[in-house]
């Protein structure tokens, strides 16, 4: 999921011009889990903005719980059919969701003016209702086969691939004493699994071309094609 | 001169360290930059001098400029280069440049994280890690860049790397040390060590690695510095008894005391290593005394 956190309301307000009519859009999936743009927060944001003198033309969180704002066909349908009238009276959209959601609103409104209401902070695992942690940096070429499934690009502050720097102390990273050293976590895990051999061999430098942006994915029932600066890779999903 | 010439003759290799200034070198030809002034204390006392690369992620004059300046003045620099601030193109290019400007010894490191320095909003690069950098440096010497393109004239320099004997679990640190050797590292300098037991464990486990290692020591100047290193410098721990001992004399006598303490420690352990790397953090003037206490004579040394 994409973790997001709301921008401070005073910062949001600064970017809204006097007289601008704003429609607030939330997301019923990731932003709902992050309490940054679910039903409650979207309604609350509309009220908070009104309290600060901003004219709200409407608000919505498209779809049932679990529905992503970034699913363009659904968001388009909801905005265009259910909110047609309000949209005619709207100058801009405040989006409480991730950057993908912001773009979805642009697409769904034929290029409408948008304001990002959140900072998109990382892709994470929802480990509990109150905690989301980052375990993957979406690099485009997964190398965690040799680390027992723990990502050194993400869990090591320096993204080192061939073992730890010299900086860890008491199992903690040199960058932050509250954070575990990713390489010690990898070592401990592989030790338990009896697979320390996995980290003994040389790991070549990362192919950053696969981490280039923007990237795209074309999918069908039987194949998928991933395009990046490294070229297009197509794989079969069925054989 | 490549330090391999000394290691090959089983000489005990002594190196010091200077840090470039935070600032520029003026046009005035008579100006002596601080790192040169420091180096002058090491004249004929050490074989070579490390030049740090934006150490602790604090932005300074480049290590290449200072290395070349030392070389031009007859000193043997060990050019430090970290993965923190340069991508793979810049790293390879800098290595070629350093060699072309006369640098014979390079120490290839990961580098402290930007978060520890004075530009904490900087983008940390870490495009390569130190093992990859060592391998790529070795490939450059074979006349190829890392993607296999031919080089016109291969560089020829001695490849150094670092290891931290204080690291727990040590075995994990040694997996990386072994990888560095396999990748092409030709000598090591250790992170600063202050504890006898740390040295003994490290030596016992690396004896068979067949690669020269210099014991690293950081000159302890006063008790506050010991506490500071314990709290803020990653990967170093200073035992209380060191802090007490340096605190047992008045400020005016600290340099003398420090030289005695560092020298005593090096003397005790020098036989277990192929050299010593002294990091004086500005107190280069006491390095000659440290070496005297340590009963080390570099035999004239390099200038
Ligand atoms: S290697 Fe890349 S894809 Fe795999 S977990 Fe790490 S960042 Fe994610
Ligand atoms: S201390 Fe560990 S997690 Fe932190 S940068 Fe070094 S190896 Fe990576």
Q: Which chain B residues are closer than 8 Å to A155 by Cβ?
A: none
Instruction: Work out the minimum CA distance from A231 to partner chain B, whole angstroms.
Output: 17
ipTM here: 0.95
User: Does residue A106 sit within a domain?
Assistant: yes
At residue B87, the pLDDT reads 98
User: Does residue A144 sit within a domain?
Assistant: yes
* Rounded CA separation B157/B106 (Å): 7
Q: Please tell me whether residues A117 and A148 are part of one structural domain.
A: no
**Residue B90 vs residues B81, B97, B98, B133, B197: alpha-carbon distances, Å:** 11, 10, 12, 11, 40
> How high is the mean pLDDT of chain A?
97
Task: State the distance from the centre of ligand 1 to the C-alpha of A67, rounded, in angstroms.
Answer: 25
Q: Please tell me whether residues A31 and A115 are part of one structural domain.
A: yes
- Give the tens place of pLDDT for each residue, A20-49: 999 999 999 999 999 999 999 999 999 999
| Nearest alpha-carbon partner for B287 in B193, B190, B231, B218 | B218
Q: Please tell me whether residues A27 and A93 are part of one structural domain.
A: yes
* Rounded CA separation A40/A154 (Å): 32
Band (pLDDT 50/70/90 cuts) for residue A103 is: very high
Q: Please tell me whether residues A13 and A55 are part of one structural domain.
A: yes
pLDDT at B302 over 60: no
Structure tokens at B31: 């100006």
At residue B300, the pLDDT reads 57
Q: Please tell me whether residues A43 and A92 are part of one structural domain.
A: yes
At residue A94, the pLDDT reads 98
- Dihedral of CA atoms B96, B83, B225, B168 in degrees, nearest 10, equals -120
* Rounded CA separation A146/A189 (Å): 12
Instruction: Work out the minimum CA distance from B115 to partner chain A, whole angstroms.
Output: 6
Task: State the distance from the centre of ligand 2 to the C-alpha of A173, rounded, in angstroms.
Answer: 5
Q: Please tell me whether residues A195 and A212 are part of one structural domain.
A: no
pLDDT at B289 over 70: yes
Q: Nearest residue CA, atom 8 of ligand 2?
A: A156
Band (pLDDT 50/70/90 cuts) for residue B256 is: very high
Place of tokens 């602790």: B56
| Nearest alpha-carbon partner for A107 in A83, A78, A64, A75 | A75
Instruction: Work out the minimum CA distance from B218 to partner chain A, whole angstroms.
Output: 15
Taking an 8 Å cut-off on Cβ atoms, the answer to whether A166 and B164 are in contact is: yes
Task: State the distance from the centre of ligand 2 to the C-alpha of A174, rounded, in angstroms.
Answer: 6
pLDDT at B47 over 70: yes
Task: State the distance from the centre of ligand 2 to the C-alpha of B124, rounded, in angstroms.
Answer: 13
pLDDT at A159 over 60: yes
Taking an 8 Å cut-off on Cβ atoms, the answer to whether A174 and B235 are in contact is: yes
pLDDT at B299 over 90: no
Say whether residue B112 is in contact with chain A using an 8 A CB cutoff: yes
At residue B135, the pLDDT reads 98
Q: Give the strand order in the sheet containing A216-219.
A: A216-219, A223-228, A231-236
For B28, how many CA atoms within 13 A lie in the half-sphere containing its CB?
6
Say whether residue B174 is in contact with chain A using an 8 A CB cutoff: no
pLDDT at B303 over 70: no
Taking an 8 Å cut-off on Cβ atoms, the answer to whether B110 and A160 are in contact is: yes
Taking an 8 Å cut-off on Cβ atoms, the answer to whether A176 and B115 are in contact is: yes
Q: Please tell me whether residues A235 and A176 are part of one structural domain.
A: no
Task: Report the chain A residue with the minimal C-alpha distance to residue B178.
Answer: A200
User: Does residue A163 sit within a domain?
Assistant: yes
Q: Please tell me whether residues A20 and A39 are part of one structural domain.
A: yes
User: Does residue A29 sit within a domain?
Assistant: yes
Task: State the distance from the centre of ligand 2 to the C-alpha of A149, rounded, in angstroms.
Answer: 17
Sequence-distant (6+) residues with CB within 8 A of A45 are: A6, A9, A24, A26, A37, A59, A94, A96, A117
**Residue B213 vs residues A57, A93, B202, B219: alpha-carbon distances, Å:** 71, 63, 11, 19
- Average pLDDT estimate for A165-181: 94
* Rounded CA separation A206/A160 (Å): 10
At residue B232, the pLDDT reads 84
The residue range of the domain holding A151 is: 139-199
Query: To probe the interface with B, which of A156, A167, A207 has the most B CB atoms within 10 Å?
Result: A167
CB B171 within 8 A of CB B196: no
* Rounded CA separation A30/A98 (Å): 8
pLDDT at A176 over 70: yes
Q: Please tell me whether residues A168 and A228 are part of one structural domain.
A: no
* Rounded CA separation B123/B103 (Å): 28
DSSP state of B150: B
User: Does residue A67 sit within a domain?
Assistant: yes
| Nearest alpha-carbon partner for B92 in B60, B41, B127 | B127
Residue of B126, B175, B234 with shortest CB distance to A174: B234
Instruction: Tell me the three-class secondary structure of chain A, residue by residue.
Output: CEEEEECCHHHHHHCCCCCCEEEEEECCCHHHHCCCCCHHHHHHHHHHHHHCCCEEEEEECCCCCCCCCCCHHHHHHHHHHHCHHHHHCCCEEEEECCHHHHHHHHHHCCCCEEEECEEEEEEEEEEECCEEEECCCCCCCCCHHHHCCCCHHHHCCCCCCCCCCCCCECCEECCEEEEECHHHHHHHHHHHHCCHHHHCCCCCCCCHHHHCCCCEEEECCCEEEEEECCEEEEEECCC
**Residue A55 vs residues A84, A86, A118: alpha-carbon distances, Å:** 17, 12, 20
Say whether residue B176 is in contact with chain A using an 8 A CB cutoff: yes
User: Does residue A41 sit within a domain?
Assistant: yes
At residue B233, the pLDDT reads 83
At residue B234, the pLDDT reads 78
Kindly list the structural domains of chain B, giving each domain's residue range(s) and its CATH number in brackets, ordered by start: 4-293 (3.20.20.220)
Taking an 8 Å cut-off on Cβ atoms, the answer to whether A160 and B129 are in contact is: yes
- Average pLDDT estimate for B240-255: 97
Measure the CA angle with vertex A128, ends A122 and A133; round to 5°: 25
Number of domains in chain A: 3
Ligand 1 binding pocket (C-beta < 6 A) is A 136-139, 142-144, 151, 153-154
Determine whether the shortest distance from the Cβ of A158 to ligand 2 is under 6 A.
Answer: yes
Among the residues of chain B, which ranges form H helices? 4-8, 34-40, 63-72, 88-100, 130-141, 170-183, 196-206, 223-232, 240-247, 254-269, 287-293
At residue B301, the pLDDT reads 57
pLDDT at B120 over 80: yes
* Rounded CA separation B131/B184 (Å): 9
DSSP state of B144: B
Q: Please tell me whether residues A224 and A193 are part of one structural domain.
A: no
Instruction: Work out the minimum CA distance from A224 to partner chain B, whole angstroms.
Output: 28
| Nearest alpha-carbon partner for B53 in B64, B40, B41, B42 | B64
Q: Which atom of ligand 1 is nearest to the CA of A142?
A: 4
Taking an 8 Å cut-off on Cβ atoms, the answer to whether A171 and B164 are in contact is: no
């Amino acid at each position: 999921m994409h973790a997001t956190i709301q921008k401070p309301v005073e910062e949001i307000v600064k970017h809204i011009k006097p007289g601008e009519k704003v429609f607030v859009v939330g997301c019923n999936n990731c932003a709902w889990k992050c309490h940054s743009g679910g039903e409650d927060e979207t309604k609350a944001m509309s009220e908070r903005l009104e309290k600060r003198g901003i004219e709200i033309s409407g608000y919505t969180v498209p779809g049932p719980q679990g529905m992503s704002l970034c699913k363009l066909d659904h968001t388009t349908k909801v905005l265009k059919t259910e909110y047609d009238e309000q949209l005619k009276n709207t100058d801009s959209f405040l989006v409480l969701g991730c950057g993908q959601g912001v773009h979805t609103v642009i697409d769904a409104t034929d290029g409408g003016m948008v304001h990002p209401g959140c900072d998109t902070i990382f892709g994470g695992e929802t480990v509990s209702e109150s905690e989301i942690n980052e375990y993957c940096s979406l690099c485009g070429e997964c190398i965690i086969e040799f680390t027992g499934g723990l990502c050194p690009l993400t869990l090591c502050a320096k993204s080192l691939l061939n073992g730890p720097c010299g900086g860890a102390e008491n199992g903690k990273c040199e960058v932050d004493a509250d954070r575990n050293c990713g390489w010690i976590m990898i070592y401990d895990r592989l030790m338990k699994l009896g697979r320390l051999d996995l980290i003994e061999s040389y790991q070549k430098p990362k192919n950053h071309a696969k981490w280039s942006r923007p990237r795209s994915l074309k999918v069908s029932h039987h194949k998928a094609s991933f395009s990046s600066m490294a070229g297009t890779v197509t794989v079969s999903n069925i054989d | 001169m490549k330090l391999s010439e000394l290691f090959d003759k089983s000489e005990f290799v002594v190196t010091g360290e200077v840090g470039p200034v935070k600032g520029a070198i003026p046009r005035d030809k008579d100006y002596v930059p601080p790192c040169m002034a420091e180096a002058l204390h090491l004249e004929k006392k050490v074989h070579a001098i490390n030049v740090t690369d934006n150490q602790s992620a604090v932005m300074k004059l480049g290590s290449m400029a200072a290395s070349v300046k030392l070389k031009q003045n007859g000193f043997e620099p060990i050019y430090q280069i970290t993965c923190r601030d340069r991508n793979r193109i810049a790293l390879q290019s800098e290595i070629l440049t350093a060699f072309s400007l006369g640098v014979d010894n390079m120490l290839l490191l990961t580098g402290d994280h930007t978060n520890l320095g004075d530009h904490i909003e900087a983008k940390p690069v870490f495009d390569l890690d130190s093992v990859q950098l060592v391998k790529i440096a070795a490939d450059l010497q074979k006349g190829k860049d890392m993607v296999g393109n031919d080089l016109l004239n291969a560089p020829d320099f001695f490849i150094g790397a670092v290891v931290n004997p204080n690291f727990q679990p040590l075995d994990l640190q040694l997996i990386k040390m072994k990888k560095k050797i396999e990748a092409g590292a030709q000598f090591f300098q250790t992170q600063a060590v202050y504890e006898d037991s740390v040295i003994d464990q490290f030596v016992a486990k690396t004896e068979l690695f067949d690669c020269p290692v210099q014991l690293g020591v950081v000159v302890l100047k006063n008790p506050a510095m010991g506490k500071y290193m314990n709290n803020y410098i990653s990967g170093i721990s200073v035992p209380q008894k060191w802090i007490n001992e340096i605190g047992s004399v008045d400020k005016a006598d600290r340099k003398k005391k420090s030289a005695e303490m560092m020298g005593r420690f090096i003397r005790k352990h020098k036989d277990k290593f192929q050299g010593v790397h002294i990091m004086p953090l500005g107190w280069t003037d006491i390095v000659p005394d440290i070496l005297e206490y340590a009963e080390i004579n570099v035999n004239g040394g390099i200038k």
